[in-house]
Structure 1
Amino acid sequence: MANADTITFTRLADGTLLQRHPDGAFRPVVAQSDRAKLAALTDEEIERMSACDPDHPGLDDAFWERTARPPAQEAVSITLDSDVLQYFRKAGRGYQARINTVLRHHMQAAGKGR
């Protein structure tokens, strides 16, 4: 992708999105959606349209019943080698979740997963 043309965008204080054109000038990006038509839709019309969309099935009660719930979590205190802890902390926030993910993968690889 080193040879790809750079597309540069910027946004004005009023929220207008501008795109740099080949001549170097920035011009407003023209939206391809009819926002006035979308804003005029009623909740009933939106529900009816979404019910007919095969790519995005509705999120009714039956959907939520089929959805897997994450396992309960429990706060514990464990002792880790200093270099192991530094390794996970180096990647920034969420290091405890990353440690949990590594442990889960190990558990599942050992055949003990859900």
Structure 2
Amino acid sequence: MPVKKRSIKSDLTKLDAHEITDAEYDDAPELTEEMLDRAEIRHGDTVIKRGRPPLAQPKEAIKLRIDQDILAAYRKTGSGWQTRINADLRKAAKKLAG
């Protein structure tokens, strides 16, 4: 569950207008990878989320027992074999539906 951020109650216009002096640069901490990993990317007031956008119809992980020879045949087809199984199951479901 996302944590609601507290208001900083600051005059951001005044803060944006401030020009940083050399002495202030010396006081600033070095940026670490950990700090950058926690950083938010923003476009104006909108937070840009990292990663893939959510799918309209997300797939569901299940446990399915398949005969070894069938699984071996799909795996031999190379990368994307799980997607091909899904496509074949979709075709079969359409035939069942009529």
TM class by shorter-chain length? 0.3 to 0.5
TM-score (norm 2): 0.41
TM-score (norm 1): 0.35
Rg bigger for which structure?
2
**Larger helix proportion, structure 1 or 2?**
2
